[in-house]
Amino acid sequence: MQLEYIKSIYAVLFQPLVQIPEDMDLMCIEELVGSLAELLNKLGMPLVLLAQEILPQVSLVDLVFSLCRLGEECIDRNISFLLGVLYQFMPRNIFGERLGASVNLLSSFYQKYPQNKAIQDNCLSSMCKLFLNQAVSAEVQGLLTQETLHAQIEASVPLQGDPQEANYIWKVIFASAQVDKEGVEAKILGSPRLLTFVLKTLVYEKALLDDQIFDWLLGLAKSPPAQSSLRNLTSSLDVSSKSKLAQVLN
């Protein structure tokens, strides 16, 4: 019964997007794409793989590229999130030869909407999810290098539009620290942007972090080399934020 219920919800969300009526309001399309992405995010890849059984004539990948041709900002934001969900859960490269085109699509969204930080944060997070998916690491190597992704991260943090995506970004940085802990930590300590990102994550998004990453960031924030920089950064925080940070650090 539960499977049939999930199938019916999926079909209700998916079918209208496959053949969009000419009179469908953009807000309705935006909501459908967002709801579809949230459903897949909650249920994971089993539902993504089930999609072909429910509606075999159109794949999720086809749907993504079809919707992006609408060129609407509100829809593109949800597409950037949907791509991240697919990247995170796919047990194999379901994009095939279009995997590179999907990464280029995210890059184009990032450049197209410089004022929409939520889209930019979603794009960055989606790239991190793709990079972290070991099932497709071989295909990703030629599309998204660690150096390129780290440069994009440093240019984009602290997150301003969707700070709840911080966890995936820290997972990428933490993975690099397992290989070159000294180099990564020196990079963070020497970057006001990254240090601010550390502080804001510890204050506002700590509940989203894996325990291992939280402990690492906390230790980094408490380290002697960080103290002088942190004093300068914390001076700009409001009273409430300073109080929350003090509770975390003590």
Vertex 242: Cα angle to 236 and 247 (nearest 5): 155
pLDDT the model gives residue 239: 79
Q: pLDDT tens digits for 14-34? A: 888 888 888 889 999 999 999
Residue 102 clears pLDDT 80, i.e. is over it? yes
Phi then psi for residue 158, to 5 deg, are -70, 150
Segment among 5-9, 10-14, 190-194, 217-221 with least mean pLDDT: 5-9
> Tokens in use for 244?
């929350």
Segment among 72-86, 147-161, 216-230 with least mean pLDDT: 216-230
pLDDT the model gives residue 56: 54
Q: Give mean pLDDT, residues 1-21.
A: 76
Task: Spell out a b/e string for 90-103, using b for 16 or more CB atoms within 10 Å of the CB, else e.
Answer: beeebbeebbeebb
pLDDT the model gives residue 2: 63
CA gap 159, 126 in Å, rounded: 14
pLDDT the model gives residue 68: 92
Name the amino acid, one letter, at 60. L
Can you give the residue ranges of every domain in the chain?
1-144, 146-250
Rank 9-13, 54-58, 60-64, 105-109 by mean pLDDT and report only the highest: 105-109
Distances (CA, A) of 230 to 44, 158, 193: 39, 15, 12
CA gap 168, 88 in Å, rounded: 10
pLDDT the model gives residue 179: 94
Residue 250 clears pLDDT 90, i.e. is over it? no
Q: Give mean pLDDT, residues 62-89.
A: 93
Residue 157 clears pLDDT 90, i.e. is over it? yes
Residue 171 clears pLDDT 90, i.e. is over it? yes
pLDDT the model gives residue 1: 45
Q: pLDDT tens digits for 189-203? A: 989 899 889 988 988
- What would the DSSP string read from start to end of the chain? -HHHHHHHHHHHHHHHHHS--TT--HHHHHHHHHHHHHHHHHH-HHHHHHHHHH-TTS-HHHHHHHHHTT--HHHHHHHHHHHHHHHHH-SS-TTGGGHHHHHHHHHHHHHH-TT-HHHHHHHHHHHHHHHH-GGGHHHHTTT--HHHHHHHHHHHPSPSS-GGGHHHHHHHHHHHHHH-HHHHHHHHHT-HHHHHHHHHHHHHSGGGS-HHHHHHHHHHHHSHHHHHHHHHHHTTS-HHHHHHHHHHH-
Q: pLDDT tens digits for 44-70? A: 766 556 655 665 556 788 889 999 999
Residue of 143, 40, 126 whose CA lies nearest to 76: 126
Q: Given pLDDT bands bounded at 50, 70 and 90, which one contains residue 11?
A: confident
Residue 227 clears pLDDT 50, i.e. is over it? yes
Q: Give mean pLDDT, residues 150-161.
A: 93
Tokens 């429910």 sit on residue? 54
